[in-house]
Amino acid sequence: MVWNAEAKQGLESWKVRWDIVPYTRGHVLDLGSGPFTPFPHFIAMDKKEQYTLEGKTWSPNIVGDATDLSKLPAGVKFDAVFSSHLLEHLKNPQQVLMDWWRVIKVGGHLVLYLPHKEFYPNVGEPGANEDHLHDFLPTDIIEFMRNMRTGWDLVVNEDRNEGEEYSFFQVYKKRNDKEQTYPFKIKRKNTCAVVRYGGIGDCMQASSVLPGLKKQGYHITFHTTPEGYEFLKHDPHIDDWWIQDKKQVGENNLRDFWRHTAKKYDKWVNLTEIVEATLLPMHMHTAFWWPTRARDRLCNINYMELSHLVAELPFVFEPRFYPSVAEKKWALAERKTIGKSMLWTISGSSPHKIWPYMDILISRVLLEMPDYKIILVGDDLCAAMIEPPWKEEPRVLLRSGKWSVRETLAYAQVADIVMGPETGILNSVAMMRTPKLVWLSHSSVENLTKHWVNTVALQPSECPCYPCHQLHYNFEFCTRDDREAGGPLAVCQVNIGADIAWEALCVLTRHIRREEPSKWQETQTLITQ
């Protein structure tokens, strides 16, 4: 609508709050912020030293004039500069924009929200803001930006005149060359958003729905965190990305954010919390406190099958990790150097993802399988868990905290065996031909490994709480075992004995001897594609 006297004014930046999310990650300078920034991580800069509202005082992070950023620390660069309804107040907008552009990193964004000349009273007209010096059309700002010495992509250029808006919204992405492009002009049809925040295992499960959506002709935008992007960045089924930093929007605001953002797409597939809080409830959820049998009846559903149901797709098990060409070559070179190997992910992020008999199993492998080496992988915390004896053993290769997740998964394609608790790494090799040994904890076979390829899943024996179908991050609610196993450890893991694991490992090695020619032929084909 065109502005009228009854239109709500003030707090203009919140009218585009949800739209600026993918362009305002990291360090964001909010110029002329006033007493409210759209998000807490914004760095507020305002020339007014203090605001008083409802008896409370507020001061900006930086007191300064938006027309002169030279007083900022030398060399400082921001991931984004955001400005709402400010530029029209400034005498020399061209010069000001050049100064704002100067402090933005290459790859960063200039995010502008301005009153539209055709939707808002012009300077000198009745109802006009007396402090306005200029009236702008979107083309005016584009013309200013053409004088920049560096290139840019105009990724958003929207007239905003519905509801209580009377503005336009632009986003410029800074390039490292002098080219100036207009990707906002590309209009997509049959668009689909797939939303999945979380770790690599969560994103791997979500990846299974992508081929089916692609076959239906959708242009897919994947909404995720930087961690999810790092894992899925080479997936050929993803056309575009919407990346959010963790807690950037805030859990209390996610529903409003999703409701707004879903309107941009023809299909909205939100897989967030499809496992956690749904099939693995946390202690703040009612189902967490139900009797075990009741929870088992509710939650004993395959994670991947539910993902396809939510995506309204027939179930086809299609998760896959896509290494880059360089990662494939690196993995083959490592395999050639190392030889026959077992890739062992030591633990996950929860107490029930630590198996207590690792040293026993390593010892038996070293004694009775002399042609194998063991590669221990995981994060820095996993590295701290490795006992001193193995640090000097040449057949135990310590790669925890050294190999990245992507390197670990690339190597998993050429390893002889992958094993460990139900972590993201094990989730991510579910469809690989590589034989797998996994220790289950809060998930059942039906939940997790039902469709996995070449997998032996070890379940706890004589463990009344298994499968608990609960999400634990500590021992507040997880049943612990403090016996001789080296506790405190989860009772479900203590009840998966070392002998059982050894027998399963022997089964897998016999399987490898039978299948090795065909396995390696398939692996070489996969790696060289």
- Per DSSP, the residues of 162-175 read STT--EEEEEEEEP
What amino acid is encoded at 381 in this protein?
A: L
Quick one: average pLDDT of 496-508?
A: 93
Q: Is 64 or 518 the better-scoring residue by pLDDT?
A: 64
What is the share, in percent, of the chain residues with pLDDT greater than 90? Answer: 77
Where are the alpha helices (H) located in 254-343, listed in sequence order?
A: 254-261, 292-299, 303-310, 325-338
pLDDT at 5 over 60: no
Quick one: average pLDDT of 116-132?
A: 94
Span 331-376, pLDDT tens digits: 999 999 999 999 999 988 788 888 999 999 999 999 999 999 999 9
Torsion sign, CA atoms 171, 176, 178, 184: negative
Quick one: average pLDDT of 29-43?
A: 92
Please choose, from the candidates 311, 349, 297, 327, the residue with its C-alpha nearest in 3D space to the C-alpha of residue 205: 311
pLDDT at 381 over 50: yes
The per-residue pLDDT for 514 is 62
Nearest-angstrom CA–CA distance, 102 and 517: 59
pLDDT at 102 over 80: yes
What amino acid is encoded at 463 in this protein?
A: C
The per-residue pLDDT for 9 is 56
CB atoms within 10 A of CB 527: 18
Nearest-angstrom CA–CA distance, 224 and 262: 14
Span 57-84, pLDDT tens digits: 888 899 999 999 988 988 899 999 999 9
For 154, the 3-state DSSP assignment is strand
Nearest-angstrom CA–CA distance, 267 and 265: 5
- Reported confidence tier of residue 474, pLDDT bands at 50, 70, 90: confident
List, in order of start, the domains of the chain with CATH numbers: 12-185 (3.40.50.150), 191-310 (3.40.50), 325-528 (3.40.50.2000)
Average pLDDT, the chain: 91
- Reported confidence tier of residue 486, pLDDT bands at 50, 70, 90: low
Minimum mean pLDDT among 47-51, 222-226, 304-308: which range?
47-51
Quick one: average pLDDT of 246-257?
A: 93
The per-residue pLDDT for 11 is 81
Q: Is 20 or 515 the better-scoring residue by pLDDT?
A: 20
The per-residue pLDDT for 484 is 55
Quick one: average pLDDT of 186-195?
A: 96
- Reported confidence tier of residue 524, pLDDT bands at 50, 70, 90: very low
In the numeric block, the tokens 């906002």 are attached to 184
In the numeric block, the tokens 């990291």 are attached to 26
Quick one: average pLDDT of 315-330?
A: 96
The per-residue pLDDT for 529 is 37
Span 392-430, pLDDT tens digits: 899 999 999 999 999 999 999 999 999 999 998 999 999
Q: What is the pTM of this model?
A: 0.91
How far is the CA of 184 from the CAs of 121, 155, 188, 260, 404, in angstroms? 27, 5, 10, 19, 35
Query: Got the DSSP string for 20-77?
Result: TGGG--SSEEEET-TT--SSTTEEEEES-S-EEETTEEE--SEE--TT--TTSPTT--
- Reported confidence tier of residue 391, pLDDT bands at 50, 70, 90: confident
Give residue 213's Cα distance to chain centre: 20
* Paired sense of beta strands 480-481 and 489-490, if any: antiparallel
pLDDT at 210 over 50: yes
For 115, the 3-state DSSP assignment is strand
The per-residue pLDDT for 380 is 78
pLDDT at 521 over 90: no
Quick one: average pLDDT of 251-269?
A: 96
Span 13-34, pLDDT tens digits: 999 999 999 999 999 999 998 8
pLDDT at 110 over 90: yes
